[in-house]
Chains A and B, each alone.
Chain A
Amino acid sequence: EPEVTQTPSHQVTQMGQEVILRCVPISNHLYFYWYRQILGQKVEFLVSFYNNEISEKSEIFDDQFSVERPDGSNFTLKIRSTKLEDSAMYFCATPLAGLSTDTQYFGPGTRLTVL
């Protein structure tokens, strides 16, 4: 049973458009992480979110990105004006139940294609 699911599995958008990627936890989690993986490259940290606030963000997470927990359950990553270089797999992750926040379980990912 996965800890998180992600929707959509694949999103195609035009450059300059806004996209919202969703992460749905199976049970209540306070910690969330977003990562991205450009095709053929390593998985990169974007942002961590604890108790409805950003706790850490990377240089990649600029003003075009935002995260929210709009209804207390879903967790969203918004890219305001997509660029070609935003094309990547986006993963959300949560700590495994009962373990340290350092051990993270990844969702299946959303493949974002920007044309």
Chain B
Amino acid sequence: QKEVEQDPGPLSVPEGAIVSLNCTYSNSAFQYFMWYRQYSRKGPELLMYTYSSGNKEDGRFTAQVDKSSKYISLFIRDSQPSDSATYLCAMSGGKLIFGQGTELSVKP
């Protein structure tokens, strides 16, 4: 079983839609959970981080962590074409373990 699994997509939605991105993981020792956004051939940009279980909101973005299910989510409300990118989940136990990344396309 892979440590972190993420559906690679691609995911295509119309502008204004609510987007749900998800990852599962196997290592119960992970404590920090991150979401990064990456544009082609650029460095990952940290969007949100959450420590342990719970929800965190930042503008149109909401991160959720369910440690009992080993499942994390990122919701994007009122999606915009500028949100089109690859979204990476990452878990931390010192070093970061990344998911495959989900390619998102928001169509005007």
Contact = CB atoms under 8 A, between A and B. Distances in A.
Interface of A: 33, 35, 41-45, 48, 55-56, 58, 89, 91, 93, 96, 99-109, 111
A43 B100 CA distance: 8
**How many residues of B sit at the interface, in one of the four size bands?**
20 to 34
B75 interface: no
A48 B94 contact: yes
A45 B88 CA distance: 14
Nearest to B6: A42
A100 B98 CA distance: 18
A102 B44 contact: no
Interface string B87-101: 010101111111111
A25 to B, nearest CB: 14
Contact of B32 (A43, A44, A102, A105): A102
Nearest to B45: A106
A9 to B, nearest CB: 10
Nearest to B42: A108
B43 A33 contact: no
Interface string B33-60: 0101000011111100101000000000
29 contacts: A33-B95, A42-B88, A42-B99, A42-B101, A43-B88, A43-B98, A45-B95, A45-B97, A48-B94, A48-B95, A55-B94, A56-B94, A58-B95, A89-B41, A91-B43, A93-B96, A99-B49, A100-B32, A100-B51, A101-B94, A102-B31, A103-B46, A104-B34, A104-B46, A105-B46, A106-B36, A107-B43, A108-B43, A109-B42
Contacts of B94: 48, 55-56, 101-102
Centre residue among A45, A58, A102 by max chain B CB count within 10 A: A102
B100 A42 contact: yes
Given A48-B94, A101-B94, A43 B31 contact: no
Interface string B71-108: 00000000000000000101011111111110000000
Nearest to A31: B94
